[in-house]
Structure 1
Amino acid sequence: MMSNDAAVSIGDGVYWIGGDDRTATIFEGAFPIPEGVSYNSYLISSKDTTCLLDTVDASIASKFWKNLRTTMGDRKLDYLVINHMEPDHGACITQVLEAWPDVTVVGNSKTFTMLENFYHVVPKNRMEVKEGDTLTIGDHVLKFYFAVMVHWPEVMFTYDETTRMLFCADAFGTFKAMSGALYADEMDFDRDYLEEARRYYSNIVGKYGSKVQAVLGKLKDVPIEMLCPLHGPIWRRDLGYIIGKYDLWSRYEPEDKGVMIAYTSVYGNTGVVAEKLAHLLKERGVSNVVVHSMTTEHTSYAVSDAFRFSNIVFAATTYNNNLHPTMSATLEDMENMAVQNRRYSVIGNGSWAPQADRLIEERVSKMKDMTKVGETLVIKSSLAPEQIPELEKLADDIAASMR
C-alpha cells in the first residue's frame, strides 16, 4: 500500500514518484473522469547514476517534486527519459531542466521535435535513441522499444533488463484515482477498475489496434516481470491478464457475449422500446445486457461497451429530418475509434417522416465487418401494440445470434 504523498520503492533502486488527482473532472478536454485519475513517474537511482522516467501533469506537480526531492536528496539528476511527450506527463519537464540544466534528455527524434513545439526548449544535452538502443544506468540496462501511435507517434517503451520492468507509457493504463493502492493485485481490479481501464483503452488507444498488435509482437519473447504504466496501477502479478485484454481489444474481438443498447429519446418513447428490448433479451437468457441513454451519458461509455460486447443495438429518434445529434455523436465516436467486427441491430423512430433507421445504417456501413441481426424496427412516435411481435422477433434474432 502507499501514501498519496510518498515515494515508493518498487524494485531494486527503482521508485514510484507519482500521485492521484481527485480534482480533475475531464480528461483531454473530452472524457469525464468522475473518480479522478492517477499520474505515474519513476526514478532509477543507482550508486553513481540517477534516471527519471517521465514527469506528471501540472495538477500534481507539488506531489511529484516532494517525492522526487525526498528520493533524490542532494544528488544530481543524470538522465531524463521521455517515453511520452503528452503534457499530462511532460508538464514538469521544463522545471526539471531548470533544476538540472546538465541533465541528459533521452528520447527519439519525434520526442525532441515535440519538446520544442510544446515548451520551446532545446536541452543542453540530449541522447537521441533508436529502436533497440540501450543505456546503462549503474546496474540497470535500459532498452528502448518504439511504440508508434500507442497512442502518439513519438511513444516508446523503456525496458529495464536488470529488474525486468517495462515502463510502458500510456499502455495498460486506466482512468480513476488509485485510493491508496499502487499495485493491481492490491485491489479488486475487475470490480473497481476494469470498466475504466476498458473505457481508457477504447477511447484513447482504440483506433490504433494494429499498432498495439505490433508492439505486443515485439515484446512477445521479452521476459517482463512488472508493467509500469503512466496512469493506473502497476502490474507485478498476472501480467498475462491485462496483456490478454489488450490483445483482445486491439484485435477488435468481443470481450463478452452480450448486448449493448444505445438509444436517444426526446420524449421517452424510444427509451421505452430500448428498455422493453432489454427485458425481452433477459427473458431469452441473455445475461449481459447494458442500456445507455445517449441523451444523458457521455459517448465514451458506449464506445467502451462497444469494445466489450458482441452485439450492439442502435435505437434513435429522427430529429430535424436528421439523426438525433447525440446518436450522431455516438456513431461518430465509434467510427473514429474503429469499432468493428460486431453484430448490430437498428430501431428507428420518427413521428411523421422517419429517417433515423436509414441514417444509422449509412453510418454503420462505414465501420468494418459489421453484421446486421434481425429486421429494422421503425416506430412512429411510440411503439404500437401490433408492433410488439416485431420487437419480440428482434429479441429472438439477437439471442439466437449469440448462441
Structure 2
Amino acid sequence: MNCLYAKILDDLYYIGANDRQTALFENMWPLPEGVSYNAYLIRDEKTALLDTVRINKVDGFINKVLEVLDGRKLDYLVIHHMEPDHSGCITDILNLFPDLIFVGNKKTKSMLYDFLELTPDDDKFIEVKDGDVLDLGKRQLQFVMTPMVHWPESMVSYEPNDKILFSQDIFGGFGTVDGAIFDDQADYNIFRSETRRYYSNIVGKYSMMAVKAIEKVKQLDINIICPVHGFVWRENPQTIIDDYEKWANYEVEDGVVIVYGSMYGNTEGMADHLATFLAKEGVKNIKVFDVSKTHASYILNEIWRYKGLILGSATYDNSVYPNMYNLLNVLKYNKIKNHVLGIFGSYGWSGGAVKDLKAFAETGKYDVLETVVEARGTMHKEEEDQLRLLAKEMAEKLK
C-alpha cells in the first residue's frame, strides 16, 4: 500500500494516505471522491509522530515513517484523536518502537485500552491538559483541548516557532489529496463543497463545541494548518478558518432546498411547481432533491448552505414517507438553526405525512412558514394557488 510523503519544513514532514477503496465514511457517509488520512512527523532533538492513519494503509505508512526517521528512534507518539481512521496503526508503531512515550489527555489514555487494549505505564504516557507544553528541542507543542469536536478526547496542538496548528479533524474535508498536498497547489473552490459536506456530516452536530474550539485557536497566530484530512494549509489558512467559523455558526446563503418523498409522482409534481413559483419570485438558488434518490449526506450539505428549506412528503401508512422519516432524524440530531421551513404533502384516502412534518417542525429552531399545503391525490387548482403563496412567503423571508 502506497503512502504519500512531503516535506513541510526542514524538520516537519507530512505522511499521509489516500483511501479510494472505502465506500462509506463511518460506514454511513458516501465517499465518491475518497478521503485522505494525514499524519505528521517532527525530527527535532526529540522525534514525534503526530497521529497515524487507518489500518488499511498500515504497510505504506510504516515504510514512510521509517524512511523519514532515517534510522532514528521514535520518542513520542502524540494522539490528538482516537477515532480508528487516525489511531489504526498505533499498535504497529508501538511494536516497532516499544520505548516510545504516548502523549494525550486523560480520556485518550482510557480510550487506548477501550479500542486497542493498551495500558501504558505512567512513565510511558504523558497526560496533557490545556496549555501544557511538550519540549522537542527547537520546537515545542502547546496543547489545546477541543472536547466533542467531535469526540470527547479531541485536542489540537500548536507549534509557536513556525506558528503551526495541528488541528486533528477540525479544518479537514472529504476527498483524496490528488497530487496537491498543499492548499496553494489546488483550486479550493473545487473542493469547498466536499469540505462543507465533511463538516455538516461529521462535525456539524457538535457546532456549539466547534464554535468554542475555533474561538480558542483564533487566539493563536497561525501560518500553517495541518489537519488529519485534506490539504495542508500553508498559504491561506484563514480561508478554512473562515469557512469553518461560518458553518459552525450556521451562517447561510440565500437559496432554497426542496426535499420531497413521492411514490407515484403527485408529491414530486408539487415540488416541481413550487420550484417554478420560487424562481418567479426571484429566488435564484434552488435545489430539488428526491429523498429516495439522493443520500442524506448530500442533502444535509446543501441544507447547511442555504437558508430556505421546504419538505414535502407523500403519506405512507398514515405517516410520513419512510425515507423522509430518515432524513428528519438526521436533521434532528444535527440541530439545524437559522432556517426558514416550509411544509407540503399529499395523501390518498387518509393523511398523516403533513401532520408528522408539522410535529418535526415543533422539535427544531425553525422559522416555519404559515402556509402549509396538503393535496388529496393529485394537486388541484386550490393546492396550486397555495403553493404559489408558500413560494411567495419563502421569498419574502429570504429578502
Q: How does 1:314-329 map to 2 (within 5 A)?
A: 314-329=311-326
- Name the residue aligned to 1:57: 54
Q: Tell me whether 1:28 sits opposite 2:26 in the alignment.
A: yes
Q: TM-score, normalised by structure 2?
A: 0.96
Q: Tell me whether 1:392 sits opposite 2:388 in the alignment.
A: yes
What secondary structure, in the 3-state scheme, does the structure 2 residue paired with 1:200 have? helix
- Name the residue aligned to 1:227: 225
- Name the residue aligned to 2:130: 131
Q: Tell me whether 1:161 sits opposite 2:160 in the alignment.
A: yes
- Name the residue aligned to 2:180: 181
Taking the aligned partners of 2:272 and 2:105, their CA distance within structure 1 comes to 51
Which stretch has the larger CA shift, 36-45 or 6-15? 6-15
Q: Tell me whether 1:294 sits opposite 2:291 in the alignment.
A: yes
Taking the aligned partners of 1:267 and 1:62, their CA distance within structure 2 comes to 51
CA contact (8 A) 2:36 2:230 kept: yes
Q: Tell me whether 1:307 sits opposite 2:304 in the alignment.
A: yes
CA contact (8 A) 2:82 2:153 kept: yes
Report how far residue 221 of structure 1 moved: 2.2
Report how far residue 240 of structure 1 moved: 2.2
Report how far residue 340 of structure 1 moved: 1.5
What secondary structure, in the 3-state scheme, does the structure 1 residue paired with 2:374 have? strand
Q: Tell me whether 1:376 sits opposite 2:372 in the alignment.
A: yes
Report how far residue 184 of structure 1 moved: 2.2
Taking the aligned partners of 1:238 and 1:6, their CA distance within structure 2 comes to 22
Taking the aligned partners of 1:291 and 1:63, their CA distance within structure 2 comes to 42
What secondary structure, in the 3-state scheme, does the structure 1 residue paired with 2:168 have? coil
Report how far residue 12 of structure 1 moved: 3.2
CA contact (8 A) 1:157 1:166 kept: yes
- Name the residue aligned to 1:366: 363
Amino acid at match of 1:168: S
Q: Tell me whether 1:84 sits opposite 2:81 in the alignment.
A: yes
Report how far residue 258 of structure 1 moved: 0.6
CA contact (8 A) 2:5 2:15 kept: yes
Report how far residue 66 of structure 1 moved: 2.2
- Name the residue aligned to 1:16: 14
Report how far residue 280 of structure 1 moved: 2.1
Residue number among 260, 276, 280 corresponding to 1:279 in the alignment = 276
Count of residues paired in the alignment: 396
- Name the residue aligned to 1:402: 398
CA contact (8 A) 2:164 2:224 kept: yes
CA contact (8 A) 2:181 2:231 kept: yes
Report how far residue 30 of structure 1 moved: 1.0
What secondary structure, in the 3-state scheme, does the structure 2 residue paired with 1:168 have? strand
Taking the aligned partners of 2:42 and 2:329, their CA distance within structure 1 comes to 43
CA contact (8 A) 1:82 1:111 kept: yes
Q: How does 1:230-241 map to 2 (within 5 A)?
A: 230-241=228-239
Amino acid at match of 1:180: G
Report how far residue 350 of structure 1 moved: 0.7
Amino acid at match of 1:120: E
Q: CA RMSD in A?
A: 1.3
- Name the residue aligned to 1:101: 98
CA contact (8 A) 2:3 2:18 kept: no
CA contact (8 A) 1:374 1:398 kept: no
What secondary structure, in the 3-state scheme, does the structure 1 residue paired with 2:307 have? strand
Report how far residue 382 of structure 1 moved: 1.6
Show structure 1 runs of 5+ residues with no match.
none
CA contact (8 A) 1:202 1:303 kept: yes
Taking the aligned partners of 1:331 and 1:366, their CA distance within structure 2 comes to 10
Taking the aligned partners of 1:160 and 1:143, their CA distance within structure 2 comes to 6
- Name the residue aligned to 2:340: 343
CA contact (8 A) 1:134 1:142 kept: yes
Show structure 2 runs of 5+ residues with no match.
none
CA contact (8 A) 1:97 1:103 kept: yes
Report how far residue 207 of structure 1 moved: 1.6
Would the alpha carbon gap of residues 55 and 5 (structure 1) be closer, same or farther in structure 2, given more than 3 Å must change? closer
Report how far residue 269 of structure 1 moved: 1.9
Runs of 4+ residues deviating >3 angstroms:
none
CA contact (8 A) 2:171 2:244 kept: yes
What secondary structure, in the 3-state scheme, does the structure 2 residue paired with 1:376 have? strand
- Name the residue aligned to 1:212: 210
Q: Tell me whether 1:353 sits opposite 2:330 in the alignment.
A: no
Amino acid at match of 2:134: L
CA contact (8 A) 2:149 2:203 kept: yes
Which stretch has the larger CA shift, 277-286 or 310-319? 277-286
Which stretch has the larger CA shift, 79-88 or 55-64? 55-64
Taking the aligned partners of 2:182 and 2:335, their CA distance within structure 1 comes to 31
- Name the residue aligned to 1:40: 38
